[in-house]
Structure 1
Amino acid sequence: MAMVRDGWQRLQEQDEGLGAIAATVVDTVFVTGADWLGSMSEAAHVGTLWIMPGRNWQPEEVVEAYLHELTHTLLFLDERRYGHFLPAASEVRVRSAIRQDVREYPAVVHSALVAAELLDWRDRRRTPDSSCSRLHGPTPELTARAQHAHSQVMNEDQHKNLLTPRMRELIEQAGERIYAGSAR
């Protein structure tokens, strides 16, 4: 629990603007005993996050867990307002940037957006891989997975028209950040 509290405080301190947004949209953070470690949020329970860090996690990894779930939460809210996917999207399966497994297209779109946020966060803070690689992997590996997921998302949308204009705009912006980071 102390790690979860510390991670929240670090997020607030490292980016005051994002911290203020997080404080506005996150209502509940809970920690439970579980057989697996990680984090989770759900569209049906916007504002509730589950964070379960491993005992060997670095403080920055807890911050990344919050950033990961906050990205999902903000996307859930944005989707309620603007819509993100056309009905056929749930029928398509591609490989995720985060979990690295084959998942529903909307989940992989989210994974590419989460990866873009994580990479941008690491880049702006010059976070060394030694302090953040357990949860989302080393930066070069995360970058490669993000590029692959982004490419799949864009290709599927070009062939099947799966995204609304709003999500297409978000995923294009994420792609610019994913590929710009690898050029540095």
Structure 2
Amino acid sequence: MILQSSLNEQLNNIIYTVIKRSDLNIENINNTDMLKKIYHKYLYLKQNRSIDFSKNIRVIIENEITMKLKEQFDGLGESDLDDLNQKNVIIPIEDHLLKEKKIKIENAIEKLREISEDHYALLNILITDIFIMPSNIASGGSSSECIGLVWANPKISHPTIDIVEFLIHEMTHNCMFIDEHNHLHYNYEKILLKENWAMSAILKKPRPIDKVLHSIIVSTEILLLRDKIIGHPNKPKVHPPTKLLKEQTIISINSLENIFLKNENINNLITSRAIDLLNNSKSILINI
């Protein structure tokens, strides 16, 4: 969400989360390295997840570790928020391309460092681990159950810049998780009702409002990344071409706003913070 706000705003969001949800001392945070250490300690305490504090993002393919991370990634029990049955997307089977996939992810992280210092800096603070496991359905994902952890299943044939888009995609989801911790976004009791579902910008299917808002914010960040940093690709692999992605995002916004019109009080569904994020995306799309 850097290009929709700023690096400082996202760093402050992380700081506020640590302040609100822990007793950790934040008085000594005077640089990003200190923020990273304290935030990672916060994740360790909250998630009871092993984190290597001495390194940048770990890209993990070792089976024993990835299986444990998958369990944490999936969370506990069934959830009404899991409308796509994401728990069954990752397949714990042997993958002979793990080493090649790890190289793809590491090359994309290095490429991100070359093209955007701000995105690279935030990625290395926000995301602690990327674990690679196969799937027949998806190329990866993030979970509100385990902020800071990303699951990846990149295609070997995809160009590095497409994997960069994947990294920005998942980092934006994690930024949204953090933002919701601080500001709250939804009334979950209301948004789970199917009459309040709207059209997703990326999957192009009706989904709960939280997933739809995420898709809009993620799509907007990808469009800005292309517009301001990497250029608009002719044949992108991970996301649709720019014109189509923009059209889908606008359709998603309109779909969401139609749901709001059907409700007497929009605040019964989402908060003013979520509305601000949506309106910001709308204003950005006009100029892309």
TM-score when normalising by structure 2:
0.60
| Paired residue secondary structure (1:29) | strand
Q: How does 1:15-30 map to 2 (within 5 A)?
A: 15-30=116-131
Q: 2:234 aligns with which of 101, 112, 130?
A: 130
Indicate if the aligned counterparts of 1:37 and 1:54 stay in contact, CA closer than 8 A: no
Residue 165 of structure 1 is matched in structure 2 by 272
CA drift at 1:85? 0.9
Looking at structure 2, the residues matched to 126 and 55 of structure 1 have their Cα atoms a distance apart, in angstroms, of: 20
- Larger mean CA deviation between 86-95 and 137-146 belongs to 86-95
Looking at structure 1, the residues matched to 192 and 113 of structure 2 have their Cα atoms a distance apart, in angstroms, of: 35
User: Structure 1 counterpart of 2:167, which letter?
Assistant: Y
**Number of residue pairs the alignment of both structures matches:** 180
Indicate if the aligned counterparts of 1:49 and 1:69 stay in contact, CA closer than 8 A: yes
Looking at structure 2, the residues matched to 108 and 75 of structure 1 have their Cα atoms a distance apart, in angstroms, of: 12
Aligned sequence identity (%): 22
Confirm whether residue 58 of structure 1 aligns to residue 58 of structure 2.
no
Residue 155 of structure 1 is matched in structure 2 by 258
CA drift at 1:126? 4.9
| Paired residue secondary structure (1:180) | coil
CA drift at 1:129? 2.0
The structure with more helix, counted as a fraction of residues: 1
Indicate if the aligned counterparts of 1:97 and 1:115 stay in contact, CA closer than 8 A: yes
Residue 217 of structure 2 is matched in structure 1 by 113
User: Structure 1 counterpart of 2:203, which letter?
Assistant: R
Indicate if the aligned counterparts of 2:116 and 2:229 stay in contact, CA closer than 8 A: no
User: Structure 2 counterpart of 1:127, which letter?
Assistant: G
CA drift at 1:34? 2.4
Indicate if the aligned counterparts of 2:209 and 2:256 stay in contact, CA closer than 8 A: yes
| Paired residue secondary structure (1:134) | coil
Looking at structure 1, the residues matched to 229 and 116 of structure 2 have their Cα atoms a distance apart, in angstroms, of: 10
Indicate if the aligned counterparts of 1:108 and 1:149 stay in contact, CA closer than 8 A: yes
- Larger mean CA deviation between 23-32 and 119-128 belongs to 119-128
| Paired residue secondary structure (1:57) | coil
User: Structure 1 counterpart of 2:115, which letter?
Assistant: Q
Looking at structure 2, the residues matched to 31 and 81 of structure 1 have their Cα atoms a distance apart, in angstroms, of: 30
- Larger mean CA deviation between 150-159 and 93-102 belongs to 150-159
User: Structure 2 counterpart of 1:39, which letter?
Assistant: G
Looking at structure 2, the residues matched to 176 and 96 of structure 1 have their Cα atoms a distance apart, in angstroms, of: 19
Looking at structure 1, the residues matched to 110 and 262 of structure 2 have their Cα atoms a distance apart, in angstroms, of: 44
| Paired residue secondary structure (2:130) | strand
| Paired residue secondary structure (1:135) | coil
- Larger mean CA deviation between 120-129 and 57-66 belongs to 120-129
CA displacement, residues 78-126 of structure 1 (integer Å, 9 cap, x when unaligned): 1011100124122221211111122111101110111100000010125
Looking at structure 2, the residues matched to 30 and 12 of structure 1 have their Cα atoms a distance apart, in angstroms, of: 20
Q: 1:89 aligns with which of 152, 173, 191?
A: 191
CA drift at 1:5? 0.6
User: Structure 2 counterpart of 1:150, which letter?
Assistant: I
Would the alpha carbon gap of residues 126 and 41 (structure 1) be closer, same or farther in structure 2, given more than 3 Å must change?
Answer: closer
Looking at structure 2, the residues matched to 126 and 59 of structure 1 have their Cα atoms a distance apart, in angstroms, of: 12
Residue 101 of structure 1 is matched in structure 2 by 205
| Paired residue secondary structure (2:207) | strand
Q: CA RMSD in A?
A: 1.5
Quick check: which has more Rg, 1 or 2? 2
